[in-house]
Amino acid sequence: MTDPVSRTILLFDIERYSDRDDVEQAYLRRMLYDVADRTLNAAGIDETQRQRADRGDSVMELIESGASVTALLRALLTEAPVHLRAINRMAAKSAQIRLRAVVSTGFVAIDDQGGWVGSDLNHACRLLDAKLLRAALAERDNDFALCVSDSVHQGIVRHGHPGIPPEDFHPVTLESKNGPLGAWLHGPLPGALPGEDRNADQSHRQSHRNDQGQEHGRSGGHEAGRSPAPAPSAAPHGSGPAFHFTGGAPSFGGSLVAGDQHGVSGGTVHGDVHLGGTDRGGSR
């Protein structure tokens, strides 16, 4: 096996390929190759910079790391949809071609049988096969749905290069047999999401906020994994008694506060205090 090398990974897959007969499948494969070649040529990526693997209803391209990923994304957002429309305008309904596409990056090796090996490649293939990406294509009328990996979004998309509007990409969590995969879907999210992908955008953004919060905690000099203790605040006048617990640890939500409680403004409550729930005697 060769040493793993860094590559841009481009995948295309034909929708409903297995529903067609042999003649239609042969035609669709020719059109798939045509779309891939036109897209890569429009991005300025020639045949010396890429390797292709045929998977029947899909095609995989390994592109040298020196080729422009920015130009590739721009071509995928412009050239690929335009060429698909031109093909389908002249084709019978049974020969219409609609494509899912994935752009990712990572390390790939070639084994002794000429096969491609690498967890980054497996990750890209699972993005291509995700239910959410299939659902997104099913709802669109432009015959094309694109998903990019987190690495491509962080390195290229979010910076707003000309022809690649970052606001058109939405964070999603795609389910796979090896667990959830983070990615970015170009265009609107499908209206009827598969159950395992529902609220993916919200979950992704909440995770991002949590990461920021953890980073803020570390930068503030707090020990990793430990949240700073909240600063004490004085009880506002007229807001009711505030208690200082001296007789043991308080227990909430079932719901016993043990020990004596001393009010800030004076006075002491002796004995245990029950805050909702059921006390030890079963009464409320």
- Clarify whether residues 178 and 264 are in a common domain: no
- pTM of this prediction? 0.68
10-residue averages of pLDDT along the chain (284 residues): 93 94 94 96 95 90 96 96 94 92 96 87 94 94 95 97 97 85 95 51 47 45 42 43 44 46 48 47 44
CA 139, 144, 147, 152 dihedral sign is: negative
Q: Does residue 169 lie within any of the structural domains?
A: yes
pLDDT of residue 93: 87
CA distances from 152 to 39, 68, 84, 281 (A): 18, 12, 24, 61
pLDDT of residue 113: 82
**For residue 182, what is the domain's CATH number?**
3.30.70.1230
pLDDT of residue 177: 76
Query: Quick one: which of 177, 108, 104 has its CA closest to 146?
Result: 104
Q: Does residue 224 lie within any of the structural domains?
A: no
Q: 175 near 131, Cβ under 8 Å?
A: yes
Q: Which amino acid is at 123?
A: H
- Clarify whether residues 65 and 127 are in a common domain: yes
Number of domains in the chain: 2
Domain boundary among 186, 202, 218: 202
Domain boundary among 176, 202, 228: 202
Domain that holds residue 42: 5-202
User: How far is Cα 175 from Cα 252, in angstroms, rounded to an integer?
Assistant: 37
pLDDT of residue 86: 94
- Clarify whether residues 181 and 119 are in a common domain: yes
- Clarify whether residues 247 and 170 are in a common domain: no
pLDDT of residue 30: 95
281's torsion region: left (phi>0), alpha (psi -120 to 50) or beta? alpha
List the Cα angle 174/177/178 in 5-degree steps: 85
- Clarify whether residues 66 and 180 are in a common domain: yes
- Clarify whether residues 190 and 258 are in a common domain: no
pLDDT of residue 260: 53
pLDDT of residue 25: 94
